[in-house]
Amino acid sequence: MAGTDSSIKFELRATPAIILCEPQLGENIGTAARAMANFGLWDLRLVRPRDGWPNEKAVAAASRADHVIERVRVFETLEEAIADLTLVYATTARSRDMQKEVIGPDIAAGRLTAHIGGGNKAGLLFGREKWGLLNEEIALADSIVTLPVEPAFASLNIAQAVLILAYEWRRQSGLAETLPFGSGLADVAPKSELVGLFEHLEGVLDRTGFFTTPDKRPSMVNNLRTALTRGDFSSQEIRTLRGVISSIDRRHERPNPNRQKPESNNHE
């Protein structure tokens, strides 16, 4: 979805850090940065990126998430990357033979929100593209976060996993309650205007002979009114509909030039 607005200043709120362990492709770093920017995260930390840093492919893939790319920090060890954090969750798609609590993204996001809201720092740890995190890296985390994926195809691209966790964090923190733009729908017209539409339409239908059976008129009127009420029309829409009805009414009253005149019975 296109929707980047460079006129809106990005607010650097307190958010979880995203730590990528030995990412191999610059494109994955860039798309992870873009996913972070989508949901308001900005603190991206890299542990020994294979192709070094800075990385032109990462910049290109970030698709103008410059505020994230410009703040990337690179560390030689995971211990250094998480040194200032007091809560770290490790993400993995496969079971580990470890005594670690396993939670879903919603619970993780809720805990992160509460932790960061208390003035503390937290982070989410993501592994390598090919084999994820090592057990000794997960051992440094407080809990494991995993997603309810299809067991037969559980592997996610790094950016996809970052996107899901970033969205859950934004939702749990309350920032997702307000959509970036409204529907643009006008207010529903008052009932007085809707009743005016009913009466206008019914009057024209009476004049044109639509109600051919008088005893069925009440039920037909009720059906029409019920159908029109479901429209939740705005005042402008009601004016348009009444204009259409008036045009049909005038057309009905005008003689049709294409209608053949009956032949005269007079004989010269």
Q: Side by side, which strands form the sheet with 17-21?
A: 73-75, 44-47, 17-21, 122-126, 87-91, 143-145, 102-103
Considering the chain, tell me which residue range(s) the CATH 1.10.8 domain(s) occupy.
191-252
State the pLDDT at residue 251. 76
State the pLDDT at residue 162. 96
Instruction: For domain 17-172, give the CATH superfamily.
Output: SPOUT methyltransferase, trefoil knot domain (3.40.1280.10)
Considering the chain, tell me which residue range(s) the CATH 3.40.1280.10 domain(s) occupy.
17-172
What tokens does 78 get? 């995971």
Q: What is the second-level CATH architecture of the domain 191-252?
A: Orthogonal Bundle (1.10)
10 and 36 Cβ atoms separated by less than 8 Å: no
State the pLDDT at residue 259. 54
Q: Which residues of the chain have pLDDT under 50?
A: 1-2, 268
State the pLDDT at residue 263. 57
Q: Tell me: the pLDDT tens digits for 241-262?
A: 999 998 988 876 666 555 555 5
pTM (predicted TM-score): 0.70
